[in-house]
């Protein structure tokens, strides 16, 4: 049953994205579309998987100003675990190969999300600069997985600098989202997925910081997220 649930959850993504093309084409590059799609995909996916996602600290997500969101990246199923936490007017950083996924790739591009080509680092840096300008000018929030790849249960990996450059350049606070470690495990004969608790930490202000503060900022965020994930893991019921 667990395999069937997972297959149905992932089959639902291109179907939802296909119908989402209508509002995306009606108002292209409007970041408000991303929030609506993210909520639909994540909540419908969790319903199919039978997954519970207890959430702590939602009050810590800024609602009156843009923010740079960083979250730990474990598996592709993070789409169902975390996507509905995308702030209003939020855009997401993703690798360029995502645009080739049927329907999902098209709405990802039409949502004005940040498409990074990691094989061309100079272009990625320029894209981050443009993103920081959009945060300040267009009041967009920015979601990044700072590890740059899925950890697959190996713990919190080292962070890349892009999200922190964007936060410092725009003066936007950094909001950290931490999910407990999870695997592709099911519970009981119905194949329901294991519970994944998530916690949103209070924002870290970046106004007044400059590039000389970058390393300290990265280390502080990495330490806080590591400690939070460890604490969440203690409370996960086997």
pLDDT band with cut points at 50, 70 and 90 for residue 136? confident
Average pLDDT value for residue range 176-185: 93
> What percent of the chain stands above pLDDT 90?
77
Burial (CB count <10 Å: 0-12, 13-18, 19+), residue 156: buried
* Cα angle value 69/75/80 (rounded, 5°): 65
Average pLDDT value for residue range 165-179: 95
What pLDDT sits at residue 118? 62
Distance between CA atoms of residues 104 and 42, nearest Å: 14
Whether residue 214 has pLDDT greater than 70? yes
Whether residue 169 has pLDDT greater than 80? yes
Whether residue 141 has pLDDT greater than 90? yes
Domains within the chain, CATH numbers bracketed: 2-234 (3.40.1130)
Nearest to 79 by CA among 112, 132, 41, 22: 41
Average pLDDT value for residue range 181-192: 89
pLDDT band with cut points at 50, 70 and 90 for residue 122? low
pLDDT band with cut points at 50, 70 and 90 for residue 120? low
pLDDT band with cut points at 50, 70 and 90 for residue 137? confident
Nearest to 42 by CA among 93, 81, 12: 81
What pLDDT sits at residue 187? 86
Distance between CA atoms of residues 210 and 198, nearest Å: 30
* Sole residue written with tokens 């999902």: 104
What pLDDT sits at residue 185? 85
46-99 pLDDT, tens per residue? Answer: 999 999 999 999 999 999 999 999 999 999 999 999 999 999 999 998 888 899
| pTM summary value | 0.93
Nearest to 216 by CA among 159, 171, 169, 177: 159
């Amino acid at each position: 049953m667990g395999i069937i649930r997972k297959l149905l959850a992932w089959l639902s993504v291109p179907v939802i994205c296909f119908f989402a093309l209508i509002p995306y084409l009606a108002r292209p590059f409007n970041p408000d579309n991303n929030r609506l799609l993210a909520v639909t995909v994540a909540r419908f996916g969790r319903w199919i998987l039978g997954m519970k996602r207890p959430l702590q600290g939602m009050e810590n997500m800024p609602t009156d100003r843009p923010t740079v969101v960083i979250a730990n990246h474990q598996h592709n199923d993070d789409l169902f675990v975390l996507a509905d936490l995308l702030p209003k007017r939020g855009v997401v950083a993703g690798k360029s190969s995502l645009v080739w996924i049927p329907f999902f790739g098209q709405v990802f591009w039409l949502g004005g999300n940040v498409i990074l080509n990691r094989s061309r680092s100079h272009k990625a840096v320029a894209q981050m600069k443009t993103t920081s300008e959009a945060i300040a000018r267009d009041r967009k929030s920015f979601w990044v997985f700072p590890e740059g790849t899925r950890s697959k249960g190996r713990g919190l990996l080292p962070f890349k600098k892009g999200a922190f450059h964007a936060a410092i350049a725009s003066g936007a606070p950094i909001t950290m989202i931490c999910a407990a470690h999870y695997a592709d495990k099911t519970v009981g004969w119905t194949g329901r997925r294991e519970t994944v608790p998530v916690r949103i930490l209070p924002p870290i202000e970046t106004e007044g910081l400059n590039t000389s503060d970058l390393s300290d900022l990265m280390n502080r965020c990495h330490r806080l997220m590591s400690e939070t994930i460890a604490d969440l893991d203690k409370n996960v019921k086997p």
